[in-house]
């Protein structure tokens, strides 16, 4: 017996109860920090629950009848590629069972929930050749040729700093079914990817995350092709200088990390953006091995950088250790992920809700990816490749080209007569076909592609790339600023058409308005409350009736829109109730079937209890979800009815006020018109009297002071005159009585009877 075994024996005389016992209790988990909770809450507020109906608009249905009708040849080629691929084999091996605790299935479904909610993207499409990426498993069991017992899903943890250089994950081509799945991510990979997605440093922007992941893989596998691609360059303008360095035909063949280091050193301290500083820091964290350099960097003729779990670990460490300058950003991805799950819960209401939905959405995403691959291969065969860099640049070969390709799809089907994929593709000769060079496949766009302007080589940049020292820092700064101005003048990709389909090769309608180096919270715009405005003067040329008519028309349109929304919600509510009713009937039928499970021995019929119970559980869960949706719709209908009633009351009060003001104004106008009519009547009367007096004045001849004997007494005549009893002839006769002094008295009496003619009497008499 060995000494180590003897040392483990219990001494004589020592009872078993005296031996120290192992602690069975676990230490309680530490609660998330305040900064991590802040980051998680911001993410949940800015990115609400992803509605399932939006996914149907982003992914083509299966089968894609409309696409196959419009593009029959392309659909046939895409489905042939998919049927002949290892991806289909891996997908068919994915048979998740509801209600089981499978880490691979659970973490993959959780990744789907997070990726859809934060990035509005399918994780299968995000890490695909359409974004210049392809997931590669590095499980050691997959590297042994001829092994028939390789693990399917688990991916053992490995030390990224000390990998085995003798192992080549793509060196052998085992038969189908012996490699770990490269469609369904292993649990460790899904966890790391989900934790990275929810971190606030990406500002919930999938383009920034893809750029960081591409850069990580390029540093690890030493990929030296032009980067970033034009379709992603618009998001981070500070990387235009790096992109222009690839266009220099005399540049030295150095890695992208060295090129970014040169650009970083040539820029002034205050001109570096936060994201470019992070990429510079990230390049120093990545370590590569000889086996990394041998990994394939294409897939079916399309550039696809191999993404492994090592890349996610490098990226996680860089995000954790980089000084972002914001407290909530300085949290590690794992801390933010724990806080996110603590605040969100298990996400039962988020899609995909079941394992069956996860498998269905994965299949639709895969087929969209192969449709885009088939489209690019057809374009490449026609000699009009949409990829960025050609194989020859001004007659010179590109400085670096990976000779590895992923031919496992063809090797797997050698000797099989199912689908002659090589004959179907009929690729042209190498000297006649433009080779794919870009890391990210080009995407259809309307704007002009990026064509670099030829310019004289700058010796300072060469010195920086070669690692030389120079004392002319001022000249370097001026040259760098001049280069920045030229880059800014050549703005490209301004109006990129962004379709909302994963399989279309475009990003899902993403728009970005603020540069990365300016972090600011999104403003909120409160809804203004409706209130009555005071009556304002009517504009020139607009009558009161026209204004009231326009207000009535706007009010009617508002009411019609509200009624239409309420009607649609009621119809949706009825539809949900009908579906709930049908589910209830199905549940009752299943319950009756379960009750009939115990049958007499002479009956040959049998029922599957497990299947019935499973279907019953699914229908009950769907019925519960429909009930919640019905309740939410009912609450929304009630709120809209309440808002409509409130708006109707407010508008009714406003209309009532306008009607009152209208009535008041009409009354005032009526009184004014009546007064003006009376005044006009008085003016006409006075004009008649004035004309009569003027006629009398002309007929009367000058008389002397000799008295004239009147036919009537003067006092009586004055009294009758003042009382208005004399007619015109009598007044004329009275005006001729007596001397001038007497006539003046008569005129005074006449004028006093009518104050309006006082001045007239003084003038005439």
Alpha-carbon span 282 to 339, nearest angstrom: 25
User: Would residue 224 count as lying in a domain?
Assistant: yes
Q: Is the pLDDT of residue 25 over 70?
A: no
User: Would residue 581 count as lying in a domain?
Assistant: yes
How many domains are contained in the chain? 3
Mean pLDDT for the stretch of residues 615-619: 79
Identify the pLDDT of residue 627.
82
User: Would residue 253 count as lying in a domain?
Assistant: yes
Query: Do 175 and 293 fall into the same domain?
Result: yes
Mean pLDDT for the stretch of residues 591-616: 58
Indicate the pLDDT class of residue 567, thresholds 50, 70 and 90.
Answer: confident
Query: Do 287 and 235 fall into the same domain?
Result: yes
Exposure string for 411-421, b = 16+ CB within 10 A, e = fewer: ebbeeeeeeeb
Q: Is the pLDDT of residue 309 over 70?
A: yes
Query: Do 704 and 681 fall into the same domain?
Result: no
Identify the pLDDT of residue 713.
55
Mean pLDDT for the stretch of residues 520-544: 40
Q: 3-state secondary structure string, 280-349?
A: HHHHHHCCCCHHHHCCCCEECCEECEEECHHHHHHHHHHHHHCCCCCCCCCCCHHHHHHHHHHHHCCCCC
Identify the pLDDT of residue 250.
83
User: Would residue 560 count as lying in a domain?
Assistant: yes
Q: Is the pLDDT of residue 453 over 90?
A: no
Mean pLDDT for the stretch of residues 216-223: 97
Q: Is the pLDDT of residue 683 over 50?
A: yes
User: Would residue 74 count as lying in a domain?
Assistant: yes
Average pLDDT, the chain: 71
Paired strand residues for 601: none
What string of DSSP letters covers 51-81? PHHHHHHHS--SS-HHHHHH-HHHHHHHHHH
User: Would residue 394 count as lying in a domain?
Assistant: no
User: Would residue 511 count as lying in a domain?
Assistant: no
Exposure string for 280-304, b = 16+ CB within 10 A, e = fewer: bebbebbeebebbebbbbbbbbbbb
Residue 224 near residue 248 (C-beta atoms within 8 A): no
Identify the pLDDT of residue 547.
54
Identify the pLDDT of residue 722.
52
Query: Do 153 and 302 fall into the same domain?
Result: yes
Query: Do 730 and 756 fall into the same domain?
Result: yes
Residue 425 preceded by cis peptide, ω within 30: no
Instruction: Report the 10 Å Cβ neighbour count for 232.
Output: 23
Paired strand residues for 305: 133
| Owner of token pair 């002094």 | 741
Q: Is the pLDDT of residue 601 over 50?
A: no
Query: Do 411 and 556 fall into the same domain?
Result: no
Identify the pLDDT of residue 94.
93
Residue 361 near residue 122 (C-beta atoms within 8 A): yes
Q: Is the pLDDT of residue 752 over 60?
A: no
More confident residue, 675 or 465: 675
Q: Is the pLDDT of residue 580 over 50?
A: yes
Of the ranges 321-330, 531-540, 685-694, which is most confident? 321-330
Q: What is the largest CA-CA distance in the chain?
A: 179
Query: Do 493 and 611 fall into the same domain?
Result: no
Task: Write down which residue in 685, 719, 734 finishes a domain.
Answer: 685
Query: Do 640 and 750 fall into the same domain?
Result: no
Residue 396: enclosing H or E segment and its boundaries?
A: strand 396-397
Task: Write down which residue in 628, 653, 685 finishes a domain.
Answer: 685
Q: Is the pLDDT of residue 458 over 70?
A: no
Share of the chain above pLDDT 70, in %: 57
pLDDT in tens, 247-292: 888 888 899 999 999 999 998 888 899 999 999 999 999 999 999 9
> In angstroms, how far is the first alpha carbon of the chain from the final one?
162
Query: Do 228 and 137 fall into the same domain?
Result: yes
The CA radius of gyration of the chain, in Å to the nearest whole number, is 46
Task: Write down which residue in 685, 710, 734 finishes a domain.
Answer: 685
Share of the chain above pLDDT 90, in %: 32
Residue 180 near residue 137 (C-beta atoms within 8 A): yes
**Residues making up the chain, counted from first to last:** 765
Mean pLDDT for the stretch of residues 592-606: 52
Question: CA–CA distance from 112 to each of 121, 190, 439 (Å)?
Answer: 9, 9, 25
Contacts of 499 (CB under 8 A, 6+ apart): 506, 508, 509
Mean pLDDT for the stretch of residues 555-582: 76
Mean pLDDT for the stretch of residues 148-156: 35
Query: Do 623 and 494 fall into the same domain?
Result: no
| Owner of token pair 């700093």 | 161
Of the ranges 148-157, 343-352, 577-586, 609-618, which is most confident? 343-352
Query: Do 316 and 367 fall into the same domain?
Result: yes
User: Would residue 654 count as lying in a domain?
Assistant: yes
Tell me the CB-side half-sphere exposure of residue 335, using CA atoms within 13 A: 20
> How many distinct helices (H) and strands (E) make up the chain?
28, 6
Mean pLDDT for the stretch of residues 409-414: 38
- Tell me the residue range of the domain where 714 lies: 700-764
Nearest Cα neighbor of 278 from 342, 208, 228, 328 is 208
Identify the pLDDT of residue 57.
83
Query: Do 722 and 670 fall into the same domain?
Result: no
């Amino acid at each position: 017996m060995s000494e180590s075994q003897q040392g483990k024996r219990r001494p004589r005389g020592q009872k078993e109860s005296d031996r120290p016992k192992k602690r069975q209790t676990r230490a309680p988990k530490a609660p998330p920090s305040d900064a991590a909770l802040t980051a998680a809450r911001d993410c949940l507020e800015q990115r609400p629950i992803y509605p399932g109906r939006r996914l149907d608009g982003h992914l083509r249905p299966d089968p894609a009848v409309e696409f196959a009708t419009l593009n029959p040849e392309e659909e046939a080629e895409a489905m042939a590629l998919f049927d002949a691929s290892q991806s289909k084999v891996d997908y068919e091996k994915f048979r998740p069972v509801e209600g089981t605790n499978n880490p691979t299935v659970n973490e993959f479904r959780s990744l789907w929930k997070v990726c859809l909610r934060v990035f509005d993207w399918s994780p299968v499409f995000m890490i695909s050749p359409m974004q210049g990426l392809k997931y590669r498993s590095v499980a050691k069991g997959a590297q042994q040729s001829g092994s028939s017992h390789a693990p399917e899903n688990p991916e053992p943890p490995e030390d990224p700093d000390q990998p085995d250089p003798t192992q080549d994950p793509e060196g052998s081509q085992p038969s189908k079914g012996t490699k770990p799945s490269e469609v369904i991510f292993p649990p460790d990979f899904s966890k790391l990817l989900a934790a990275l997605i929810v971190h606030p440093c990406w500002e919930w922007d999938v383009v920034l995350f893809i750029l960081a992941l591409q850069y990580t893989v390029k540093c690890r596998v030493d990929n030296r092709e032009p980067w970033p691609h034009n379709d992603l360059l618009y998001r981070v303008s500070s990387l235009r200088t790096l992109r222009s360095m690839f266009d220099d035909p005399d540049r030295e063949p150095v890695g992208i990390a060295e090129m970014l280091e040169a650009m970083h050193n040539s820029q002034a301290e205050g001109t570096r953006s936060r994201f470019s500083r992070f990429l510079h820091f990230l390049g120093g964290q990545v370590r590569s091995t000889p086996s990394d350099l041998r990994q394939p960097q294409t897939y079916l003729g399309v550039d696809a950088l191999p993404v492994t779990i090592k890349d996610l670990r490098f990226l996680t460490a860089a995000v954790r250790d980089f000084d972002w300058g914001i407290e909530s950003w300085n949290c590690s991805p794992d801390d933010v992920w724990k806080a996110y799950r603590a605040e969100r819960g298990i996400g039962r209401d988020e899609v995909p809700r079941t394992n069956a939905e996860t498998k269905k959405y994965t299949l639709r995403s895969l087929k969209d990816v192969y449709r885009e691959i088939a489209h690019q291969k057809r374009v490449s065969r026609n000699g009009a490749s949409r990829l960025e860099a050609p194989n020859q640049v001004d007659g010179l070969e590109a400085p670096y080209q990976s000779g590895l390709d992923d031919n496992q799809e063809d090797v797997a089907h050698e000797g099989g007569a199912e689908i002659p994929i090589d004959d179907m593709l009929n690729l042209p000769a190498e000297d006649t076909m433009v080779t794919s060079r870009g890391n990210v496949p080009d995407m259809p766009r309307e704007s002009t592609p990026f064509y670099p302007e030829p310019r004289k080589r700058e010796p300072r940049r060469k010195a920086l790339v070669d690692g030389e020292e120079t004392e002319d820092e001022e000249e370097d700064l001026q040259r760098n600023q001049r280069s920045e101005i030229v880059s800014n003048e050549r703005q490209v990709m301004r109006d990129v058409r962004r379709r909302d389909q994963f399989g279309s090769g475009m990003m899902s309608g993403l728009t970005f308005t603020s540069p990365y180096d300016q972090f600011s919270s999104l403003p909120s715009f409160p809804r203004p409350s409706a209130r009555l405005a005071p009556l304002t003067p009517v504009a020139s040329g607009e009558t009161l009736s026209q204004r009231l008519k326009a207000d009535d028309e706007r009010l009617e349109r508002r009411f019609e829109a509200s009624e239409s929304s309420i009607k649609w919600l009621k119809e949706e509510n009825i539809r949900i109730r009908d579906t709930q009713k049908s589910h209830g009937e199905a549940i009752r039928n299943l319950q009756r079937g379960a009750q009939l499970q115990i049958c007499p021995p002479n009956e040959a019929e049998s029922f599957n209890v497990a299947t019935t119970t499973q279907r019953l559980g699914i229908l009950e869960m769907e019925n519960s979800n429909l009930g919640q949706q019905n309740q939410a719709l009912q609450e929304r209908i009630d709120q809209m009815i309440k808002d409509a009633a409130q708006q109707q009351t407010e508008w009714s009060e406003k209309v009532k006020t306008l009607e009152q003001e209208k009535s008041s104004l009409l009354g005032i106008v009526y009184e004014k018109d009546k007064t003006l009519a009376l005044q006009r009547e008085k003016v006409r009367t006075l004009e008649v009297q004035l004309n009569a007096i003027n006629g009398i004045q002309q007929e009367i001849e000058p008389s002397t002071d000799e008295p004239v004997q009147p036919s009537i007494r003067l006092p009586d005549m004055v009294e009758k005159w003042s009382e208005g009893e004399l007619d015109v002839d009598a007044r004329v006769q009275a005006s001729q009585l007596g001397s001038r002094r007497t006539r003046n008295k008569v005129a005074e009496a006449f004028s006093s009877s009518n104050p309006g003619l006082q001045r007239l009497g003084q003038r005439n008499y």
